[in-house]
Structure 1
Amino acid sequence: MRAAPRVDAVLVQAVIAGALSFAHLHDLAAAAGQDGWKAWAYPISVDLLLVAAWRRLRMLRPSGQPVRAAWFWFAVALAASLGANVATAGLLDLGDVPAWLRILVAGWPALAFLGGTLLVHLPAQAEAPQGSAAAGPAETAVPEPRPAAESKTESSPEPQPEVADAPEPGRELPASAPSPSPVSVPAALVDHARKVADDHHARTGAPIDTDTLRARLGVPAHLADAIAAQLA
């Protein structure tokens, strides 16, 4: 027996609030002289700028990049939406809109275009390919010490190689040092990391790097490397 669909109260509230704000912005634009299709385009422009600024905030926060520009345009769009709601609540005579408000409404398209363009060109989350120099400082190759036999001059005779003595019967060879055991990663943490990586790829279009994965999961570097190896 199929369960009855549940109504999401938060989604219903968001739809109602968005519809009311949309209507208020339309009424204010129409009262300010923007009639016809232009009055309907104003609320769409305000809401799109609000959503774009919020999405850019969510993209910049995990990488630790500055979010002041995104916050500024989010506040501008919020002020435009909130101002329209307050202005149409009886505090403003829509039959006689003041000149300064007409100027603000007429100048909004240019302001929204500027904000959207700047939000698009904000630096997105840094994406560095695995093993590249952006993932970390390049390691300086340290030359291996040369054996003492190679430091001799060419005139000196080369020593004859010594033949290793065969092991005596019954003598056991020394056991080699045990290899370090791999890092054990819980399956639940790997599943969560895979969801984070998929979400990162869906938002940015590029695979997640180890540093970003470590920052998102809050795990040590060696554990992040082990998780990235399992996700590869």
Structure 2
Amino acid sequence: MRAHLARVDAVLVQALIAAALSFAHLHDIASAAGQDGWKAWAYPISVDLLLVAAWRRLRSGDAKAAGWCWFVVALTASLGANVATAGLLDMNQVPAWLRILVAGWPAVAFLGGTLLAHSARPTAPGTDTELDVEAIEATEGQEDAPELAPGPTQPAFEVQPERPTVPVPTALVDHARKVAAEHHTRTGKPIDTPTLRARLGVPAPMAEAIAAQL
């Protein structure tokens, strides 16, 4: 346990040192390019936030192309600032192209952050939102109860078995109401049980139980 904590502490210390150095290099480049005061401190924060947002998108598994694109952009900005401060660039005589890049970075970072935060995630066709899979699987296989076997003497009338009570999650009922409202707005007619079942992808007993609560 102590060895594990020691490894974690070493990784954290190393990450903090690397982040502080990169932060300082980005600040120096922004300051040399004419961004003084609080603006010079905002540039490294902007670059690091875009890098983290792109990495989170890559870890989530959605829109990996966009994630890789903005990850490379942010990494290039960070790595370029670190290399430029290694004596390869005269900090007192910054070229015009670097001033243009630094001045245009806020627009690039805003565009990248917006696209990463608001890009639509793929949904299954025929559904509006992701349903509670566990709730649906819990009711899978619940069909009508079998008819009672006749005894030695036939009763005067046949007793119909009661339909089993199907538990319906509250979240699924709320989602069904949204689906029914959207169907009514689009067609002008109330949604029927077969259509509701097809839209929700649930068994027939659950669809009837949900329709009874709408």
| TM-score normalised according to structure 1 size | 0.52
Matched, 1:114 2:117: no
Matched, 1:130 2:132: yes
| Structure 2 letter corresponding to 1:128 | E
Task: Note the residue ranges of structure 1 that are not aligned, 5 or more in a row.
Answer: 136-162, 167-232
| Structure 2 letter corresponding to 1:114 | L
| Aligned partner of 2:75 among 75, 78, 85 | 78
Question: Would you tell me which structure has more helix in proportion to its own residues?
Answer: 2
Asked whether the 8 Å contact 2:33–2:94 carries over to 1, the reply is yes
Distance 1:131 1:56, change over 3 A: closer
Query: What value does the CA root-mean-square deviation take over the aligned residues?
Result: 2.7
| Higher relative contact order, structure no. (Cα contacts within 8 Å, ≥ 6 residues apart) | 1
| Structure 2 letter corresponding to 1:47 | D
Q: Indicate the structure (1 or 2) with the bigger Cα radius of gyration.
A: 1
User: Partners in 2 of 1:42 and 1:85 — Cα distance?
Assistant: 13
1:149-180 deviation per Cα after TM superposition (whole angstroms, max 9, x unaligned): xxxxxxxxxxxxxx8547xxxxxxxxxxxxxx
Give the aligned partner of residue 40 of structure 2: 39
Distance 1:51 1:125, change over 3 A: farther
| TM-score normalised according to structure 2 size | 0.56
Give the aligned partner of residue 59 of structure 2: 58
Asked whether the 8 Å contact 2:57–2:63 carries over to 1, the reply is no
Task: Note the residue ranges of structure 2 that are not aligned, 5 or more in a row.
Answer: 124-128, 137-149, 154-214
The count of aligned residue pairs is 132
User: Partners in 2 of 1:97 and 1:55 — Cα distance?
Assistant: 34
What is the deviation of 1:58?
1.2
1:157-212 deviation per Cα after TM superposition (whole angstroms, max 9, x unaligned): xxxxxx8547xxxxxxxxxxxxxxxxxxxxxxxxxxxxxxxxxxxxxxxxxxxxxx
User: Partners in 1 of 2:122 and 2:12 — Cα distance?
Assistant: 29
Q: Specify the SS of the correspondent of 1:33.
A: coil
